[in-house]
């Protein structure tokens, strides 16, 4: 069963966050992730607005978690921690 990695982000340091995005792209691709949405126009219907919304599809919840926990992604995440306010959830798709 596939899984979606969904993040909502408010960027506070575009330069640092850009480095995160570049490195995260490499990590996600290495784990078979495919971007379905990355930034772009959105309509905030509920909850806090974050100007950057990202959706990535993985083949499984386990694969998405493996990507998140990987050394390469954790290294990338170091660039995002002080450059953004973010929420991230990984959710399994329906059969």
Q: What is the CATH number of the domain that holds 8?
A: 3.30.70.100
pLDDT tens, residue order, the chain (95 aa) = 999 999 999 999 999 999 999 999 999 999 999 999 999 999 999 999 999 999 999 999 999 999 999 999 999 999 999 999 999 999 999 98
Q: What is the DSSP string of the chain?
A: --EEEEEEEEES-HHHHHHHHHHHHHHHHHTT-EEEEES------SS---SEEEEEEES-HHHHHHHHHSHHHHHHHHHHHTTEEEEEEEEEPP-
Number of compact structural domains in the chain: 1
The confidence score (pLDDT) of residue 1 equals 92
Whole-number pLDDT of residue 76: 97
Predicted TM-score (pTM) of this structure: 0.92
Range of the structural domain that residue 31 is part of: 3-41+50-92
pLDDT at residue 8 in the model? 96
């Amino acid at each position: 069963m596939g899984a979606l990695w969904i993040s909502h982000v408010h960027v506070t340091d575009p330069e640092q966050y850009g480095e995160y995005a570049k490195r995260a792209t490499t990590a996600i691709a290495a784990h078979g992730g495919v971007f379905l949405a990355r930034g772009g126009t959105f309509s905030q219907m509920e909850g806090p607005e974050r100007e950057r919304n990202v959706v990535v599809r993985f083949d499984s919840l386990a694969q998405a978690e493996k990507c998140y926990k990987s050394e390469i992604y954790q290294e990338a995440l170091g660039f995002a921690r002080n450059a953004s306010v973010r929420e991230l959830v990984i959710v399994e798709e329906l059969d």
